Amino acid sequence: MWASENVLNSWDAESLQAQSTQPLMLTLNCLNGYFVAPSFDSLGEAYLKAEGRGTIAAFSPSGLSLDGPAHQFHRALMQQLTSGGHERLGDAVLAAQESYAATGLMPELLSIYHLLGDPGTKIR
């Protein structure tokens, strides 16, 4: 759940209206991709599993993250996604990981952030 005001939560994913195309979810905040609890769907998982209503994929942290380095990582990902240089989502994520790693900032983020979804998803 996002914020104590319940802005967005995982249990509402199933009540979304059907849509012809689904967005890619990119989250900068902690634990939105916490996939290791077998009896609990993280926000990223819940919206990915809401087929035809949720997201096509989610790039989210499975643990605690720091705001500044996370912003740098997401900037790298957005640059790769919008560059036109990658046909598949997974290739853009790999390039963003390489770009972020070169900054030397908090290398732990490379093991915290995950792509939930098919890396072969076409982005162009």
Among 66-70, 95-99, 102-106, name the one with the lowest average pLDDT: 66-70
DSSP, residue by residue, 12-57 = GGGGSPP-SS-PEEE--STTTT----TT---HHHHHHHSTTTS-SE
Domain containing residue 40: CATH number: 3.40.50.1460
- For residue 6, the 8-state DSSP code is T
Looking at the domain assignment, is residue 124 inside a domain?
A: no
Q: Is 103 helix (H, G, I), strand (E, B) or coil?
A: helix
Looking at the domain assignment, is residue 102 inside a domain?
A: yes
Number of domains in the chain: 1
pTM for this one? 0.89
Give the tokens for residue 47.
């919206």
The answer to whether residue 3 scores a pLDDT higher than 80 is no
Looking at the domain assignment, is residue 34 inside a domain?
A: yes
Domain carrying residue 27: 20-116
Looking at the domain assignment, is residue 10 inside a domain?
A: no
Q: Is 104 helix (H, G, I), strand (E, B) or coil?
A: coil
Mean pLDDT of the chain, nearest integer: 92
